[in-house]
Structure 1
Amino acid sequence: MPDLPPAHRLIRKPETGARVPSGRVVLGYDERFLRRKRLMTEDDEGFLVDLPETTSVSAGDCFELLDGRLIEVGAAAEPVLVVTGENLARLAWHIGNRHTPCQIGADRLVIRDDHVLKAMLVQLGATVGHAMEPFTPEGGAYGHGRTMGHDHGGHDHLRGPVLTLPHGLGGLHVHHHGMVKVEDEPEAPDE
């Protein structure tokens, strides 16, 4: 079959309106983070995604082809851990503290299959089961879609106040939105 025209634009699910997609592509969580990639629809039609920047794509979003047609994105089933327990908020905190993407439901959490996190969660009292299902975790705290480090989407806070810390704080981890300056400890006076 011939290739479809390229897609240079992503339309988020709420913005598609009454337009009906002409095709569908099913992608896993990692595959839904892209800028430029050749993809195949479920009908075996190839097309090139060529977006201006790397983008986190959600299930239900659509790639708009150059000729105006839409290709809907679906989330592929993949190996995940389904986490349940008495205190989901506490379990979610521990998952988030490890900067791990997490899908949050009313009575369960879903994370990618990871034996280390599974052991930690079981130790915390969770019930953890394996499943094959679409993984659609919460977006990043700053609305950028992925929990990959701490980014502010092209802006910085370098004009803010400076926090000065004494040297040798024994591995203190500081999370901030200004500048951190570590000063050397003053020399001990000669006695």
Structure 2
Amino acid sequence: MIALPRATTVARQTPASDHIDLTYDARFLRRKRLESAGGIAFLVDLPETSDIRDGDALVLEDGRRIGVRAAPEPLLEIRGDLPRLAWHIGNRHTPCQIEPDRLLIRADHVLAKMLAGLGAEVREVTAPFTPEGGAYGHGRTMGHSHGHDHDPAHEH
């Protein structure tokens, strides 16, 4: 068995000679075998689980860089009273991509119905998904065990 080259570090927002397209969920990784668009098979072997962002590069031990691109995936495009709608999405700890004229979330029929009930225009789209990171220094929106303490009197 031939040993695969290993990607042991991530270079943030850097050029690369090859690339791989990964969905939002697939960009949260530590150890996995992947293959680039150019046919390079390699093993991601990071010291800890990392949030790999669109435009980052996985750096192979020999110095080659495999760029990471956000792959298109099924999403909901939301238009309407964006601050109000974003509040309801955030209240459910749902990852959300915020743009000037729309919000994008992963396709979810329950959230689609809720948002339509709030007056949103909701339609299914397929697009790369690059949601906002968490507010507590994490790259991902976390649930209620997200690394900080709440005031015990605070209820959700």
TM-score, normalised via structure 2 length: 0.91
Q: Any idea what the Cα deviations from partners look like across 1:118-160, whole Å, max 9, x if unmatched?
A: 00000000000110100110001112111122423xxx66xxx
Q: Any idea what the Cα deviations from partners look like across 1:159-186, whole Å, max 9, x if unmatched?
A: xxx85x7xxxxxxx637xxxxxxxxxxx
Residue 174 of structure 1 aligns with which residue? Answer: 155
Tell me which stretches of 4 or more aligned residues in structure 1 moved more than 6 Å. Answer: none
Larger radius of gyration between Structure 1 and Structure 2: 1
Q: Any idea what the Cα deviations from partners look like across 1:47-87, whole Å, max 9, x if unmatched?
A: 000001111111000011101111100111000000001x1
Partners of 2:34 and 2:3 lie apart in 1 by 10
TM-score, normalised via structure 1 length: 0.75
Alignment of 1:58-77 (within 5 A): 58-77=53-72
Aligned length: 153
RMSD: 1.9
Partners of 1:12 and 1:142 lie apart in 2 by 19
Alignment of 1:26-45 (within 5 A): 26-45=21-40
Residue 9 of structure 2 aligns with which residue? Answer: 9
Q: Any idea what the Cα deviations from partners look like across 1:18-70, whole Å, max 9, x if unmatched?
A: xx412101100110000000111011221000001111111000011101111
Does the CA contact (< 8 Å) of 1:4 and 1:46 recur in 2?
Answer: yes
**Structure 1 unaligned residues grouped into runs of 5+:** 166-172, 176-191
Aligned partner (choices 75, 81, 91) of residue 80 of structure 1: 75
Aligned partner (choices 143, 149, 156) of residue 137 of structure 2: 143
Q: How far is the alpha carbon of 1:3 from its aligned partner?
A: 7.2
Does the CA contact (< 8 Å) of 1:3 and 1:45 recur in 2?
Answer: no
- The alignment partner of 2:155 has SS state of coil
State the structure with bigger RCO (CA 8 A, min sep 6), 1 or 2.
Answer: 2
Identity %: 58
Partners of 2:107 and 2:12 lie apart in 1 by 28
